[in-house]
Amino acid sequence: MATPAYPIPAKPDTNTLTLTVRLQDVYGKQTVYPVCHVAKTFAALTGTKTLTDEAIKHIKTLGYTIVPEQRTL
């Protein structure tokens, strides 16, 4: 069987790694609070109640996607 001359698109990844967080302004600074269990675990590992910019950078290198919590009225 010949290989195609164009790349075959990859199947959508159904096992995406996502973290749900809540964004909140505290004294004019945006703070990221963990919402889901995995996000809370990362915060506990870093020894903080919030996720810092540095922690988020490292979490993203592990393949996680940060998703803001959807607020309902």
Tell me how far apart the alpha carbons of residues 32 and 59 are, in angstroms, rounded to a whole number.
13
User: What are the per-10-residue average pLDDT scores of the chain (73 residues)?
Assistant: 59 72 93 95 94 94 92 78
Among residues 29, 34, 1, the alpha carbon closest in space to that of 18 is found at 34
The pTM (predicted TM-score) of the whole model is 0.73
How confident is the model at residue 38, as a pLDDT?
94
